[in-house]
Amino acid sequence: MRFRRTGLRAGMPFVPRSLKSHLLRTGGVNPFGEPLFRVARADFRTIRCAGEWAIWAENLTTDERGSLGISAAMKMATKGRPVPEIMEYLGGVMKVSPEHMIRGFIDRPKYGLTGWIVEKWQPAATWGSPADWNMYHWEGKSALGPYPRYGDYEIVAGPSPYLPSISDVKQAIQTNFRDIDRRPMSAAVRLQQMIDAEANVAAEKQRALVARLDAQVQDSPVTVCGNRLSLGARRVMNQLQEKIGIRSQYHA
């Protein structure tokens, strides 16, 4: 039987055949006929795990899905809307709830990272026995998802914003062979990996929000001479930043 679960969501960017061939020649195959090493995008890498997940209405924009409504708030500020009105709008946006919650298994980001990575296949025994794996529960279900009886791929290099070259891949494989599995794995480590991935996703979302906020400031006409924000717009900016957990940066 071949290794069926790739753990890659649909739409994974194209990997050149020359790179795949090099990986196959250099690393060989696993017991299921799949490459021992592979190149993938970290942000397309998934694992199946148990938990409670929010499902949002399709007509809601990303900005409206439990977020801050930054874009709309800034448009209101540029039109001179009163700060209390803007903050009331923001309060309403933050109260928007998902349509329903899924309690159970779902595919989630494995690493919570963005960019190209090199992964190596690891056998099921890497994570211990099924009993070890199933020690971690969520409402009676295995928190780690189904036991990886066909093994799974783990990151050995990356992430990088650029598709690795054959030289990059060769170096990554050589380093891995010299330093055989220097990072011990286990069911406990897998659980920690899941926790770290969710933290990475949350951190990335906050960075994106801050970047959007800064971009709105740069593009907004609600500035006065000396590149200083007007009093009302500055208050909006400061309160937006406080809502996403960072100190105010826009001063009079």
> Residue 187 above 70 pLDDT?
yes
> Coil, helix or strand for 138?
strand
pTM for this prediction: 0.65
Q: What stretch of H or E contains 48?
A: strand 46-55
Q: Rounded to an integer, what distance in angstroms lies between the CA atom of residue 3 and that of residue 121?
A: 10
> Residue 105 above 50 pLDDT?
yes
pLDDT digits (tens, 9 = 90+) for 18-48: 999 999 998 899 999 999 999 999 999 998 8
Extract the tokens encoding 107. Answer: 């595919």
What are the domain boundaries of the chain? 1-56+99-186
CA distances from 63 to 59, 76, 97, 114 (A): 11, 15, 13, 20
pLDDT tier at 52, thresholds 50, 70, 90:
confident
Give the type of residue at 213: L
- Whole-number pLDDT of residue 228: 44
Q: Rounded to an integer, what distance in angstroms lies between the CA atom of residue 212 and that of residue 243?
A: 14
- Whole-number pLDDT of residue 212: 61
What count of Cα atoms within 13 Å lies in the side-chain half-sphere of residue 151?
Answer: 20
- Whole-number pLDDT of residue 195: 81
- Whole-number pLDDT of residue 29: 93
| Cα 204 to the center of its chain, rounded Å | 7
pLDDT tier at 181, thresholds 50, 70, 90:
low
Q: Which of 107, 113, 148 is nearest to 129 (CA)?
A: 148
- Whole-number pLDDT of residue 78: 74
pLDDT tier at 96, thresholds 50, 70, 90:
low
CA distances from 109 to 7, 183, 193, 201, 224 (A): 10, 20, 10, 8, 43
The better pLDDT of the pair 232, 187 is held by 187
